[in-house]
């Protein structure tokens, strides 16, 4: 259960975009991921935005936690168009390495519709895997760019949306809802100042296994919270903290460094 929750929390790392950004942006952030207070992963994100096109690069190093979280690495790259009202990905590539196994996923998008995708090794269909349908692959984005949101300020509007995501394997929605205004005060983190707290609701659509304990847990849990913070004066917002409650204790991601 923790392993899939860790994958979801890494998916929540990327930036949240405030206003239509014409000036070039070159930014990087770092996060620490913990389970029950124990460090299990470090995540770095780089964003380059020319004002017309953008690139995102993620790298994660997972230390592992016994048999619960496997040690390994993950990397992801996204490129697309940034000149519109929201970011529009055109290509997404993911690679994970753990326990001597390598998994890759590549997805192409045209006009927010999936144009092609491939995963290696292929995910074998089973009687309880919900089949992907063509209609599920329209109006979607990758799991990195999905969290780059455009708005005008740090307020509840950042939380009032549903993100439609396709990973190359699974199609799901993340429904955000406004919880509260908050304040970051800890000097041990990468930011101190105002925050907006959003609830997260995971809604599986297709590509998942109906017997998956983790899928069912995430769909049923109400303890998933994301806090947004501004990234300097760039017009961007970034997740300051993410919490997912699990049977092993809170799975938490916290900002440790932000540079723009």
| Domain boundaries, position 91 | 2-259
Place of tokens 């799901």: 172
SS3 208: coil
Omega cis (within 30) before 156:
no
pLDDT at 17: 37
CA atoms of 104 and 160, how far apart (whole Å): 32
Strand partners, 110: 113
Check residue 124 and give its pLDDT: 84
Number of domains in the chain: 1
Per-residue burial over 61-87, b = 16 or more CB atoms within 10 Å of its CB, e = otherwise: ebeebeebbbebebebbbbbebeeebb
User: How far apart are the C-alpha atoms of 253 and 32, rounded to whole Å?
Assistant: 6
End-to-end CA distance of the chain: 35
Q: Dihedral sign, CA of 229, 55, 99, 116?
A: positive
Q: What is the pLDDT along the chain (260 residues), one digit of tens a residue?
A: 555 555 555 555 544 433 344 468 788 989 999 988 888 899 999 988 888 888 999 999 988 665 556 688 999 999 998 877 677 899 999 999 988 899 999 999 998 999 999 999 998 888 899 999 999 999 999 988 878 776 678 999 999 989 999 999 999 999 999 999 999 999 989 999 999 999 999 999 999 999 988 889 889 887 899 999 887 777 778 889 999 988 778 889 999 998 87
CB-facing half-sphere around the CA of 250: CA atoms within 13 A? 13
* pLDDT at residue 21 in the model: 42
pLDDT in tens, 56-104: 999 999 886 655 566 889 999 999 988 776 778 999 999 999 888 999 9
pTM metric for this prediction: 0.85
* pLDDT at residue 10, as a whole number: 55
Q: Residue 259 CA to chain centroid, in angstroms?
A: 19
In contact, 90 and 80? CB cutoff 8 Å: yes
Cross-strand partners of 94: 76, 105
């Amino acid at each position: 259960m923790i392993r899939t929750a860790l994958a979801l929390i890494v998916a929540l790392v990327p930036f949240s975009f405030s206003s239509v950004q014409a000036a070039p942006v070159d930014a990087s952030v770092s996060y620490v991921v913990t389970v029950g207070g124990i460090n299990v992963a470090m995540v770095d994100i780089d964003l380059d935005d020319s004002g017309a096109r953008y690139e995102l690069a993620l790298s994660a190093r997972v230390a592992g936690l016994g048999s619960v979280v496997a040690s390994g690495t993950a990397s992801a790259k996204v490129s697309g168009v940034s000149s519109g009202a929201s970011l529009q990905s055109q290509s997404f590539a993911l690679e994970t390495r753990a326990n001597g196994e390598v998994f890759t996923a590549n997805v192409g998008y045209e006009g927010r519709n999936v144009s092609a995708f491939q995963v290696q090794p292929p995910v074998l269909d089973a009687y309880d895997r919900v089949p992907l349908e063509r209609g599920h692959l329209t109006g979607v984005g990758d799991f990195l760019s999905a969290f780059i949101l455009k708005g005008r300020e740090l307020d509840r509007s950042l939380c009032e949306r549903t993100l439609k995501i396709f990973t190359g394997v699974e199609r799901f929605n993340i429904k955000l809802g406004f919880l509260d205004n908050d304040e970051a005060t800890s000097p041990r983190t990468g930011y101190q100042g105002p925050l907006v707290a959003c609830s997260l609701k995971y809604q599986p659509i297709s590509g998942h296994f109906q017997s998956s304990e983790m899928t069912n847990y995430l769909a049923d849990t109400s303890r998933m919270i994301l806090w947004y913070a501004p990234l300097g004066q760039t017009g961007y917002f970034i997740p300051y903290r993410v919490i997912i409650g699990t049977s092993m204790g809170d799975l938490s991601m916290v900002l440790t460094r932000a540079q723009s």
